[in-house]
Amino acid sequence: MVGTLSVIVKVSSNSKKEKYGLLFEPDTKDLAIEFWAIQQGEAWCRAAGRSLFHHYREAQTLLWPEEDHHRWSDLILREILQNDITVLAGSKDSGKTRGMAKYGLVDYFCFPDNTLIIVSSTDIRSLEGRVWGDIKSLFIRARERYPALPGHVLDSKHAICTDDLDDESVIARDMRKGVLCVPCKTSSGGQTNIAAYVGMKQRRKRYLADEFQFMSQAMYDSLGNANSGNFKMICAGNPIGDGDPLDIISEPKGGWESMAEPEKTAVWDNERFLRSRTINLVGTDSPNFDLPESEPTQFPYLTNRESIARTVAGYGLDSHQYYSQCKGVRRSGLNARRVITRELCRQFHAFDPVEWSGDARTKIFALDAAYGGVGGDRCVGGHIEYGLCADGKQRIMVQAPRMVPINLRRSDSPEDQIAQWVMNYCGENEIAPDNCFYDSTGRGSLGTAFARIWNPGGSRVNPVEFGGAATKRPVSLELYFADPGTRVRRLKRCDEHYRKFVSELWWTVRLLIESDQLRGLTEDLCREGCMREWKEVAGNKIQVESKEETKERMGRSPDLFDFLACACEGARRKGFIISKLALAEVGKREDWLSKEVAEYEKFIKGRGRLQLA
């Protein structure tokens, strides 16, 4: 340590200061002793009959004596010290941000020359108002009490740097030691690539991620580069549903379906990383509820009876606001509605391999086109195949899709490059043009490129207009309603249930999964399928959010799942039957449905090559 925080352990019995059974110089500060004990490590602390938790907690008390300790703050600190990755999921005002800020600063004060702490939130405004604001406030108050503490706030860079430029031996500050803020979004709303920061070389790395539920998938993916060596991550946020980064990283062993909704504060081991645990701070189990209602609120800054009552009065007990902000627990499908969920895919074995019966299978190629990354979209192509399985059921097997390379510097157009790539891919995989499908919304020139490049046969490639109107197909064999004109009970049609064809396409994949007819689903495909939300619009119709809305909320476009939706539509057009949509079964159920089936078939034929609107 430096200055007045230096510590020397003496063996002479003449020393005037004794603590923890050790003798120190008479003027050694208690804080320096706690720092020294922390530097010795967990094994030393245990041998002495204590723990790192004890010394970190004592250091926090000395640095910020005005700050409270309670069972939530103690639980947060204890779990952070025991784990490599700690997820703080819970209600608002549960001390998540404060807890990781206090840990981070004590950790830095103890190891200022070989520690890099990366701090993230969604944008600069969120950093200033939350975790970086907390860190600065705590740092300033600590330095007022202990001026010799290391570190220099560089507010223009949103950083705390160890090096002091007033020191003649220091030529330039080394930003690889200290505290460095990195927002996940730029001022224009784009996503920051944090992988380079997480990959910075330093012996001790800490990553504090606030509002993790609103970050892009890239934040979660960056852990693969950082989760090694002396590394700790603490991420915090309010649970909002399926598929966001907080939801993925906090998934318990055995999956979300293995857990009941917590009523009390809970801790569990996470599915995806070793030494990774989640603390679910349940707002209705706040430390403020430990005392009788007649007693004054002990911790006004934590969730309390009054703050919960205000939310319930405004939104109700079944609202998303109550579950996310007050209770702070995960409740699938509430407001943050997803077309598919990971539990659904697991329940119906979508991740499993397929067991074919014989060699009679059909391959379907699909393409979700984008031109050179315009708008952040990726150009995705690949194929599925379907056939009869060993148990006698018809199923689809997904082959992992590929990114179609597009070079804007080449003389040939992006459309020609895509058409050439598709032709080569289908040739290698023995897929005929008739079995190729692509999203044609706003891409009329791509069809021309197919016809020109892929000759003969390119003109037979099938467009699928995602942006068109939903079809007159029945939604499923389970959804009946009263006809608006005749009041006769009948199956509801897709054009009466979905706002656009893209909504029908995505929900059809869900029905395919629920029919236990999809296999080989990859993690990437599932992740993107869980990203897209849906809502009810005018006429009580279902509409999935636009790609632009998904990109704004999640940081990426669901291009991979659009590929799968297109491929499954192609399989249906070529004869694959989803058991929940089997028209043959519909025709046998009730005589009046024969007319519906006949009209649907007439509609299909009238579109020419089954180009559905």
Query: Domain of 513: which CATH number?
Result: 3.30.420.240
- Would residue 235 count as lying in a domain? yes
pLDDT of residue 573: 93
pLDDT of residue 197: 62
Q: Please report the sign of the dihedral spanned by the C-alpha atoms of residue 326, residue 332, residue 334, residue 337.
A: positive
pLDDT of residue 171: 45
Residue 392 shares a structural domain with residue 501: yes
What letter would DSSP give residue 493? B
* Residue 389: other Cβ atoms inside 10 A: 18
Query: Domain of 108: which CATH number?
Result: 3.40.50.300
Structure token pair of residue 471: 């079809």
- What is the radius of gyration, based on Cα positions, of the chain? 29
Contact 92, 303 (CB under 8 A): yes
Q: Which residues contact 605 (CB under 8 A, 6 or more apart)?
A: none
Q: Give 10-residue mean pLDDT values along the chain (613 residues).
A: 48 70 89 96 93 97 97 98 96 94 97 93 84 94 96 90 64 74 68 61 88 75 66 90 79 83 93 91 96 92 90 76 84 62 88 92 94 68 96 94 89 92 96 94 84 87 91 81 79 88 93 94 89 78 84 77 96 89 46 46 46 39
Residue 165 shares a structural domain with residue 312: yes
pLDDT of residue 209: 92
Residue 177 shares a structural domain with residue 299: yes
- Would residue 594 count as lying in a domain? yes
User: What's phi and psi for 366, nearest 5 deg?
Assistant: -140, 150
Residue 159 shares a structural domain with residue 270: yes
Residue 3 shares a structural domain with residue 145: no
Residue 42 shares a structural domain with residue 73: no
Residue 439: strand pairing partners: 464
Residue 42 shares a structural domain with residue 82: no
pLDDT of residue 609: 43
| Last residue of one domain, picked from the residues 300, 327, 354 | 327
- Would residue 449 count as lying in a domain? yes
Residue 17 shares a structural domain with residue 80: no
Strands 518-519 and 394-398: parallel
Residue 358 shares a structural domain with residue 315: no
- Would residue 334 count as lying in a domain? no
| Last residue of one domain, picked from the residues 327, 352, 373 | 327
- Would residue 63 count as lying in a domain? no
Residue 159 shares a structural domain with residue 225: yes
Q: Say how far apart CA 239 and CA 591 lie, in whole Å.
A: 48
Cα–Cα distances in Å, from 588 out to 510, 593, 597? Answer: 24, 8, 11
| Last residue of one domain, picked from the residues 327, 355, 372 | 327
- Would residue 195 count as lying in a domain? yes
Q: Which residues contact 459 (CB under 8 A, 6 or more apart)?
A: 433, 450, 451
Into how many domains does the chain fold?
3
- Would residue 612 count as lying in a domain? no
- Would residue 490 count as lying in a domain? yes
Residue 79 shares a structural domain with residue 16: no
Residue 158 shares a structural domain with residue 15: no
User: What's phi and psi for 188, nearest 5 deg?
Assistant: -90, 0
pLDDT of residue 204: 92
Q: Which residues span the domain enclosing 523?
A: 342-606
Amino acid at 212: F
CA 479-243-560 angle, to 5 degrees, is 80
Contact 366, 383 (CB under 8 A): yes
Q: Please report the sign of the dihedral spanned by the C-alpha atoms of residue 481, residue 470, residue 394, residue 511.
A: negative
